Amino acid sequence: MESPRQTEGIFQYQHQSNTNERISQKWIQILGNNYEIYISDIYKPDNDTLGLALEGTIDTENGKETDTHHYIRTILPDGVIGKEGTLKPGDELLEINTQVLYGKNHMYVIEILKLFKHEIKLVCARRKIK
């Protein structure tokens, strides 16, 4: 028979798994089936950084800005994200802890990323290879 602590751990894992599945489905509906959604659940200490560099791009259509994207340019192998191992350079940042980053101003995204500490859920998209 499982102890209360083991049961709690199983429940937390199932809850996280269900949450991640809902997040993935939400973004697939928004972006389409040409993308895979990757979710990194990490812990960032107070005095640490995520260990990544971003590249912002802006789509234009008929001379008007339409969409803003934020891609991971590099990941430090010894950084929080590098050690966790889920995300890769080229992945597009979509949200952090339910805060949508997709389509937001690049400077805003950088400031939001700096604010979050401790338990972090980073959601990214990766284009499927055909």
Structure confidence by residue, pLDDT tens digits, 76-122: 999 999 999 999 999 999 999 999 999 999 999 999 998 888 999 99
Q: What is the CATH number of the domain that holds 47?
A: 2.30.42.10
- What's the pLDDT tens digit per position in 32-87? 999 999 999 999 988 888 999 999 888 878 888 778 899 999 999 999 999 999 99
The count of structural domains within the chain is 1
Residue 16: band (very low, low, confident or very high) from pLDDT cuts 50, 70, 90:
low
Q: Which 8-state DSSP code applies to residue 46?
A: T
Closest by Cα among 26, 22, 13, 1 to 94: 26
Domain that holds residue 119: 4-127
* Model pTM above 0.75: yes
- Residue 57, classed as helix, strand or coil, is strand
Beta-carbon neighbour count of residue 23 at 10 Å?
17
Q: What is the C-alpha end-to-end distance of the chain, expressed in Å?
A: 47
